[in-house]
Amino acid sequence: MDAIINVPDPVNEPVRTYAPGSPERAELEVELARMASTPIDLPHVIGGQEVVGDGEAVDVVQPHAHAEVLGTLHDGTGADAAAAVDAALAAAVPWRELSFEDRASVMLKAADLLSGPWRARVNAATMLGQSKTVHQAEIDSACELADFLRFNVHFARQLLAEQPVTSSPGTWNRIDQRPLEGFVYAVTPFNFTAIAGNLPTAPALMGNTVVWKPATTQTRAATELMRLFQAAGLPDGVVNMVTGRGPAISEVLLNHRDLAGIHFTGSTTVFNSLWKQVGDNLSTYRSYPRIVGETGGKDFVVAHPSADVDVLRTALVRGAFEYQGQKCSAASRAYVPASVWERLRDDLVATTEALPVGDVRDLSNFMGAVIDDRAFAKHKKVLDMAHADDRVEVVAGGTCDDEVGYFVRPTIALVSDPEHEMLTTEYFGPILAVHVYRDEDWDAMLTQMESVAEYALTGGVIAQDRAAIAEVTQRLRFAAGNFYVNDKPTGAVVGQQPFGGARGSGTNDKAGSKANLQRWISTRVIKETFAPPTDYRYPHMG
Ligand SMILES: NC(=O)c1ccc[n+]([C@@H]2O[C@H](COP(=O)([O-])OP(=O)(O)OC[C@H]3O[C@@H](n4cnc5c(N)ncnc54)[C@H](O)[C@@H]3O)[C@@H](O)[C@H]2O)c1
Ligand SMILES: N[C@@H](CCC=O)C(=O)O
């Protein structure tokens, strides 16, 4: 077909309410019951084939009811990884030779299936496997993933339309956006099904083929995503999913000549280790691998003496405790002036103590469980430390219980020492450290908190005074890649607040944006000369 094709204008997927009596709630409840009662194999998908591996078996359980198994995966071995690379390389040429419209069409179809007939099952898998409440699952696995798929197509179309600004008389300059040579390695975290879906499909849209390793605890929903992509017509081998913990898979992939890029989201520690291995292996590769990684955070809320207390309380409760604080964007440190704390404390503590925490199948709960026994043990240790440390006063929560599920009560800890690890370390759980500063120390507080943590992901200011808002926005310019004024620091929406941070929080390539897609292409410039010179001499030579 010869045509310059436009793509549909993207629109953010509307968030459904799941209110009692709504059709979406009825459909979801059927799916939750079906999935919870039907554990399945969670196979690798290599070259389009479901392969039950022979690596160690790992059960994927419901975090809020850990005796209930959702499925069993097999830890990916070196042989599984090698087979996935072979499949990705075999699929590369036919995939990149399809037109952009054909590739885009697969992504747009996946978005429409997800927002329609697949919505309930992907949401149910995310709720059960990752312990998300229905609202948290809906904004992630249905809406954000559909948005990634649709907005990426829109941004990719813009990228491909960008051509040289000018051509000299007698010449024509053109740009060809090539995929990378080799395969892209996508490694995804447990906490967002949308990220799990975006990291392999963004490079694929740009013409690359991919080996994708989801987090073990997210594999129930990841398995639904693989099936969704296949249902949307993704050709075999374009995305190959290898399940498991990762090191054995990385051993093969990071030592492969054709590693063309890494698309990672997860902790700073794991990202640093992958980057280091790439550095150590540099002479192995055909091209310099593109490395994109969005990593950890120690996200802040700074309150000014002019803050509206109701706005501040809501931003803290939602920002710190939604999805059990397991968002990279979650507020985990707050700086509150003494004059505001006096008015905030009782209501904030009472609201926090009243938050319903439990099994996410009970839709009246505000929070579920933390992801697994490791996370639970880490949070328990932090709570024990907080209770024992005389620089810390636990004013809400502070308890946990793993008898049925990995439940950690939402916790607020008053921390007097601004250098304390509770104000610098990412715990990735429902633990909010609050530092109360003297109103007159506003300036010193801003200077100290700006760089006390290694991260720079999200943060915000709660204030009504315009001069204070302007001051914080400027002084904390490098402290967050996503900055909020009078709002919680979570809940970025694709196309509205492209997401990512710098410093120890990652490469800030902004998931779901043109900047991210740019990393998955390698530009070729073609200059054609219509009446080429036939004499080498220049006029100045006489
Ligand atoms: N900045 C962002 O956009 C963003 C978004 C979501 C999560 N996060 C961060 O992710 C972290 C939480 O997620 P997590 O617990 O899944 O992170 P993690 O780093 O423990 O795991 C991330 C992924 O890396 C895999 N992995 C670990 N070692 C590996 C290896 N050697 N080779 C290959 N894969 C390996 C894991 O199995 C998982 O799939 C937090 O630090 C959070 O801040 C950041
Ligand atoms: N983009 C999400 C966070 C993703 C990380 O976990 C937000 O803005 O809350």
Q: What is the pLDDT of residues 85-139, one digit of tens each?
A: 999 999 999 999 999 999 999 999 999 999 999 999 999 999 999 999 999 999 9
Q: What spacing in Å lies between the alpha carbon of 535 and ligand 1's midpoint? A: 60
Tokens of 371: 């992801």
Closest CA to 354 of 366, 336, 369: 366
Q: What spacing in Å lies between the alpha carbon of 455 and ligand 2's midpoint? A: 15
What ipTM was reported for this prediction? 0.99
Q: Would you name the residues annotated as active-site residues?
A: 294
Alpha-carbon distances of 541 from 532, 536, 538, rounded to whole Å: 19, 10, 6
Tokens of 175: 């740009």
Strand pairing category for 171-179 and 183-187: unpaired
pLDDT of 92: 98
Q: What ligand has the least distance to the C-alpha of 331?
A: 2
Would you place residue 413 in the very low, low, confident or very high pLDDT band (cuts 50, 70, 90)?
very high
- Asked whether the predicted pLDDT for residue 2 surpasses 90, the reply is no
pLDDT tens sequence across 163-188: 999 999 999 999 999 999 999 999 99
Query: pTM for this structure?
Result: 0.98
Burial readout 419-457 (b: 16 or more C-beta within 10 A, e: otherwise)? ebebbbbbbbbbbbbbbbbeeeebeebbebbbebbebbb
pLDDT tens sequence across 297-345: 999 999 999 999 999 999 999 999 999 999 999 999 999 999 999 999 9
Tokens of 504: 């120890």
Cβ-based burial of 502 (10 A; exposed 0-12, middle 13-18, buried ≥19): middle
252 lines ligand 1 (CB under 6 A): no
pLDDT of 1: 80
Ligand 1 atom closest to 190 (CA): 16
Mean of the per-residue pLDDT values for the chain? 98
Tokens of 433: 């450290």
pLDDT tens sequence across 260-302: 999 999 999 999 999 999 999 999 999 999 999 999 999 999 9
pLDDT of 30: 98
505 lines ligand 2 (CB under 6 A): no
Q: What is the mean pLDDT of residues 200-205?
A: 99
pLDDT tens sequence across 430-461: 999 999 999 999 999 999 999 999 999 999 99
Tokens of 88: 């990705």
Distance CA 415, CA 390 (A): 9
The residues pairing with 184 across neighbouring beta strands, listed in sequence order, are 210, 261
Closest CA to 278 of 256, 294, 296: 256
Closest CA to 107 of 14, 203, 214: 203
Q: What spacing in Å lies between the alpha carbon of 267 and ligand 1's midpoint? A: 4
